[in-house]
Amino acid sequence: MGERLSTALQEKLAKRLSFYQDIGIEFFYRDRASQQQPVVTVDAVGSPAPFSPGATLPKPFQKPQPVKLASAAPPLPRRLDVLPVVAGASLFEAMNKIADDSLLKIQADLGSDCTRCKLHRGRTKLVFGDGNPKAELVFVGEGPGRDEDQQGLPFVGRAGKLLTQMIEAMGLQRKDVYICNVVKCRPPENRAPEKDEVETCSPFLLRQLDAIAPKVIVCLGSIAAQTLLETNRGISHFRGEWMQFRGTKLMATYHPAYLLRNPSAKGEVWKDLQKVMAVLGLQGKKGSQTVKPS
């Protein structure tokens, strides 16, 4: 029999569920062993085990059973007062079950005045992303800079101009691809986003990638690559090599801002992009031998 939640834990649970609802997750899963408990327990909420990536469905699959929260629980967000519980599945799998997810819905869920992490304090405009919602190629950067923060669009400053040149050298235009960042608000002084900020904002990036379902993801810089690959290894360990992100080909390369400071690295980036072009069947713009600075 499960342990009843204290009022403090009920409030914590309500807050957690509200956050999950914000990012579009309305169904939760736990393994069959914990289905014996008729009341949601601390473990069912606090443990990441039911949501861990790579979890497999026990066999035979058991029909979901609703679990009611303790009657003294504070009001929960709509449609979260009864949680269907099925055999274990990962958070990613749960997210994949969200029907009708689209960039518009994700943007609406995120809102234009998000305060979920401390980056909102210095933000002028939230930068959700821009481009073709059905793009075969998605570029993921780290976070908005000053120009992006002012305009509410990704990669529009000097580094953005270089990225545009890179895209055009591949034989594409910006409107053909989708461009977004790990965090949607500018970190102060253009510092790298911190762990808690990445953890809070990146679920929206994951939903964007799910909704677009590109053939190839290009990570610009280490933060984007480390976030999607869930690694602490430096980008030099895997830059230029094909990696996998949930079944999608992922190429990590240097951030255009790095290329502005280190133009000699442009040749390496161009080699990486040529590998992407080969997968996408792109011939490249005639005469483009390398990525030229603006």
Contact residues for ligand SF4, defined by CB under 6 A:
110, 114-117, 119-120, 126, 183-185, 197, 200-201
Nearer residue to ligand SF4 within complex by CB, 204 or 245 = 204
Nearer residue to ligand SF4 within complex by CB, 143 or 214 = 143
Strands 248-253 and 242-245: antiparallel
Residue with the two structure tokens 């736990």 = 30
Would you state the torsion angle of the CA atoms of residues 50, 91, 243, 169, taken in this order, to the nearest 10 degrees?
-170
What is the rounded CA–CA span in Å between residue 206 and residue 200? 12
In angstroms, what is the minimal distance from the CB of 115 to ligand SF4? 6
List, in order, residues 6 or more apart from 82 with CB less than 8 Å away: 66, 67, 68
DSSP state letters, 22-65: HTT-------GGGGG-SB--HHHHH-SGGG-TT----SS----E
In angstroms, what is the minimal distance from the CB of 7 to ligand SF4? 28
What is the rounded CA–CA span in Å between residue 265 and residue 286? 21
In angstroms, what is the minimal distance from the CB of 221 to ligand SF4? 16
Nearer residue to ligand SF4 within complex by CB, 71 or 189 = 189
Nearer residue to ligand SF4 within complex by CB, 127 or 162 = 127
In angstroms, what is the minimal distance from the CB of 26 to ligand SF4? 19
Nearer residue to ligand SF4 within complex by CB, 130 or 168 = 130
In angstroms, what is the minimal distance from the CB of 18 to ligand SF4? 14
What is the rounded CA–CA span in Å between residue 235 and residue 221? 7
Nearer residue to ligand SF4 within complex by CB, 119 or 156 = 119
In angstroms, what is the minimal distance from the CB of 255 to ligand SF4? 18
What is the rounded CA–CA span in Å between residue 245 and residue 229? 7
Q: Which residue spans within 159-241 are E strands per DSSP? A: 178-181, 216-220
Nearer residue to ligand SF4 within complex by CB, 148 or 197 = 197
- Count Cα atoms within 13 angstroms, Cβ side, for 141: 27
In angstroms, what is the minimal distance from the CB of 156 to ligand SF4? 18
Bridge partners of 218, per DSSP, are 139, 251
